[in-house]
Amino acid sequence: MNNMKTDSNDWAANTARNTLRLGYWTAAWLLTMALAKFGPEFIWQMNTSSTVLAILFNLAIGFGMILANKRHLKGLDELHQKIQLEAMALSLGIGLVVGLAYSNLDVTDVIPFDAEISHLVILMALTYLAGVVGGLRKYR
């Protein structure tokens, strides 16, 4: 029983650590994304080498975030893995279907503005969030 107690404490601490680590990687990715996006105009006056370096740095941090997310998911218990899977399926499905329909509206000039990739990212993020909240409620 004592051994199980120690294991369970380790499990809870490990989950918390993985979540925190994912948070740090996500924050770092966002910051490097902002640097790559706004740096050329506001910091290094469109110097191409600096821009390429910033984009490569953002990519590297992005891969780190993906690995941190993978580790976070593997550390979750089976119910929460199921909730995450359902939320990601919803997000990917809606992102693909609505994203391509939105793109078609743009290329056929049905909508008077450009279909930006950021709109798709916002849609997928909101869908994922709704999926997680819905899953947490479903199994409450």
Partner 1 sequence: MKNRLKVLRAERDWTQAQLAAELQVSRQTVNAIEKGKFDPSLPLAFKAARLFEMSIEDIFQDETV
* Smallest separation (angstroms) from partner 1 to the CB of 1: 8
Site for partner 1 in 2-21 (CB under 8 A): 4-5, 7-9, 11-12
* Smallest separation (angstroms) from partner 1 to the CB of 8: 4
Per-residue contact flags (x/-) with partner 1 for residues 108 to 137, judged by CB under 8 A: ----------------------------x-
Q: Which of 95, 101, 103, 102 is nearest to 125 (CA)?
A: 95
Q: Based on the shown chain and the rule CB under 8 A, indicate whether residue 140 belongs to the binding site for partner 1.
A: yes
Chain center to CA of 63: 11
Q: Which of residues 18, 39, 61, 82 is near partner 1 by CB under 8 A?
A: 82
d(CA 132, CA 84): 6
d(CA 59, CA 65): 10
Q: Give the E-state strand segments of 24-71 in sequence order.
A: none
86 with 61: CB under 8 angstroms? no
Residues forming contacts to partner 1 in the complex (CB under 8 A) are: 1, 4-5, 7-9, 11-12, 77-80, 82, 136, 138-140
